[in-house]
Amino acid sequence: MSASLITRPDTPLVVELFPSPNIEPRKPGFTPSILILHYTGLPTVERALDVLSRPDCKVSCHYVIDEGGRIIQMVSETDRAWHAGVSYWAGETDINSASIGIEIQNPGHMLGYPEFPAVQMRAVAALSKDIAIRHAIQPHRILAHSDIAPGRKIDPGEKFDWAWLARQGVGNWVEPAPIDPDDAGLSLGARGADVDLARQLLADYGYKIDLKGAFDADLQTVLRAFQLHFRQERPDGRLDRSTLETLSRLKAPASLNDGRIV
C-alpha cells in the first residue's frame, strides 16, 4: 500500500488543503494512537507551509493551525507524516507511524515566542478533540514535541496553555505544586530516594529515562521537558519539591480508566 497526496480532508474542521509530498505509509500494524502538538518555529504560516511541503526539507505534518485559527491539512491521517523525528514515548520509537502531528503557527523561542492567541487555541482544542475521539487517543498520549524528544525539542513551550486545553476535554493535566523560591532542588550528582522516585515516575508516565543513576544531565533534561508541559512557571530542570510533587500527582497510564476523551 502506498501513500498519495491528500485529496479530501479527514474532518469538516479543515478549511484548506495544502498537500505535502513528504509522506509514506504507516509501518504495518500502526494506527494513530498518539497526538503530537508542535509549534512551527517559523516567522509566518506561509513560510511554514512552504517548508512542510518542500521535498528537500524532508518534514511534514498532518495539520497546520494559523494564528487566526484556520485549520489546514497537509497529509491524510492514514499516512505517515515526518514531524516527530528521533523520539520516544512509552516504549515506542516510531512515533511518526503511531501519531498524528499538528503544527501550531508560532515563531518560537528564537523569534520572540509570542502568546498563542485565544482563537488559535480554540482551533487547537476543537481539532485535537475531533482527532482524539475518532481514533480513541487517550489523554496521556496527547503530547508536546518536547515530551517525546527532550532536549532536542522544546515546543510548543511554556506559554502553551495545557491546563486550559485539558478543561476543554483534551489531554491529561494535574495542578502543579506551588514553587518555593528558596528551594534550589538537588545538585547534579545527588543520589537517593527522591532521584529514584523521579526516574520511576517519569518512566511510568512514558518519558525515556533510565531507572537507575544519580541526578545527572540526562535526568535534568527530561525533568525540564516534563516541566514545560506540567510545571510551566519554572521549567528549569531542577528536581525540587514542587517538581517531584507535581510528578507524583500524575496518574500513570494504567490508572487512567479507559483513557477516552468524551
As annotated, the active-site residues are: 103
Q: Which residues, in sequence order, are bridge partners of residue 103?
A: 38, 64
Assign 3-state DSSP to the chain and report helix, strand, coil percentages, each to 5.
Answer: 35, 15, 55
Residues 10, 168: Cα–Cα separation, whole Å: 21
Residues 131, 153: Cα–Cα separation, whole Å: 23
Q: Hey, what's the cell of 190? A: 545527588
Q: For residue 57, how many other CB atoms are within 10 A of its CB?
A: 13
Which whole-number Å values give the CA distances from 30 to 44, 53, 78, in the listed order? Answer: 33, 24, 10
Q: Which residues, in sequence order, are bridge partners of residue 101?
A: 36
Residues 186, 184: Cα–Cα separation, whole Å: 7
CB 48 within 8 A of CB 103: yes
Closest CA to 195 of 243, 227, 235, 234: 243
CB 208 within 8 A of CB 199: no
